[in-house]
Structure 1
Amino acid sequence: MSPVSKRGPRSDASRNRARLVAAAREALAEAGNDVAFDVIARRAGVGNATLYRHFPTRADLLVAVYADEVAALCQRGEQLLGSAAPTEALFAWLDEFVVHVATKRPLALAATEGSDESRTTLFRDWHASITSIADRLVRRAQPALRSDLTATDVLTLASGAALTADPAQARRLVALLRTGILASTGTD
């Protein structure tokens, strides 16, 4: 192995990649998943060759953008794990989760078009990351929740809300969900 291959990407290459992903995220949010590569390269301040060097296909770029979205959602969950109010942390994260599902689902599906094996692997990895943070948030809030509640239950209910409504309605449904999963105080 040569010294160059041991080092990893050059700092300018890493910066270009990050700029391309950020530009793609913005352009995709504005124009949808079919935005032209030229537009993304221009926004990132790089040439088309640089874009294609980092992302040879549209799917490669969409995967990078969606993977960053999942990472940001999970990072937000990590931040909320440090909050003083476990139940509030769980529901703050669920609000963000339903907005993520309601608004990013087309991106996730577009990113994984093509090979069923690739799609399965990507979705499995993304699902595992999201489920892991949800499980930690639910376990932390468990004393205030129904004793039989699992992270899978919470994610399934929240996903259902997100897939049937716009983001604002999905957040409202999560607020309604809250009353169903909190432990009974015996005063109802």
Structure 2
Amino acid sequence: MRADARKNRDHLLAVAGTAIGEQGVDVSLRDIARRADVGLATLLRHFPTREALLDALLRTSFDELTAKAGELETSSSPEDALVSWLRDCVGWTTEYRGVTVLMAAAIEDTESALHASCVTLRAAGARLLARAQAAGMARSDIDGTDLFALIAALAWLGDQPSIAPRADHLFDVVASAILDSAGSGDAQGERRPPDPRRDRPARPGQLRPREA
């Protein structure tokens, strides 16, 4: 690509990033072209579809998150790596309103320009999840597809003005549900239900029931 063509392409991506950050992924391509002071035909010559524009805009972030997963596999404990990566993914997706909807559709659509990047990102998360599961630190009844869906759900929550103030708390709730604390259950891995007698204050002279 010639230097002038690359400069024009980079300018379009910068303008598109600002527009999508302000209005979401449904912003008009015509509006992006107008902001960039070019014709719509020029924009479409560089990016024939909305998905192609988003893939070019988000590719660096996809690659960074995928690389981050690889780094965490060797530098952090399984549970810390999983939660850290999950938090980074959710934080990134909230930068562009509506992007998770497109990602969820693209991962099933092999013709989408976003498909390959989404599949790679999902695989990176699946490896971190499998590592935590192998260490007995994550529940075994979820997979990479479930993790990808949870990222989308948490990002959606962050996009809702009435819920956004609770987003960090809800993230912690979901992360705690994914992790499976060691030693929290019996020999079969089942959690022991609480005994209300143990939580009730003892009356004077009364002994607490012994642990079973």
TM range (shorter): 0.5 to 0.7
Asked whether the equivalents of residues 66 and 120 of structure 2 are also in contact (C-alpha less than 8 Å), the reply is yes
1:84 maps onto 2:66 in alignment: no
Q: Which one-letter code corresponds to 1:138 in the other structure?
A: L
Match of 2:126 in 1: 135
Greater relative contact order (CA < 8 Å, ≥ 6 in sequence): 1
1:97 to 81, 89, 94: 89
Q: How does 1:12-27 map to 2 (within 5 A)?
A: 12-27=4-19
Gap regions ≥5 residues in structure 1: 1-8
Aligned pair count reads: 171
Asked whether the equivalents of residues 102 and 165 of structure 1 are also in contact (C-alpha less than 8 Å), the reply is yes
Asked whether the equivalents of residues 99 and 171 of structure 1 are also in contact (C-alpha less than 8 Å), the reply is no
Alpha-carbon shift at residue 149 of structure 1 (Å): 4.1
- TM-score if structure 2 supplies the norm length? 0.60
Asked whether the equivalents of residues 81 and 137 of structure 1 are also in contact (C-alpha less than 8 Å), the reply is yes
Which moved further from structure 2: 52-61 or 83-92? Answer: 52-61
Separation in 2, partners of 1:182, 1:91: 9
Higher helix share: 1
Q: Which one-letter code corresponds to 2:182 in the other structure?
A: T
Separation in 2, partners of 1:147, 1:55: 41
Separation in 2, partners of 1:161, 1:52: 32
Deviations 1:162-182 (A, max 9, x none): 334546644432311222222
Larger Rg: 1 or 2? 2
Deviations 1:102-132 (A, max 9, x none): 4535246579xxxx99x82225434312211
Gap regions ≥5 residues in structure 2: 186-212
Separation in 1, partners of 2:148, 2:102: 22
Identical aligned residues as a percent: 32
Q: For 1:97, what is the secondary structure of its paired residue?
A: helix
Match of 1:6 in 2: none
Alpha-carbon shift at residue 88 of structure 1 (Å): 1.7
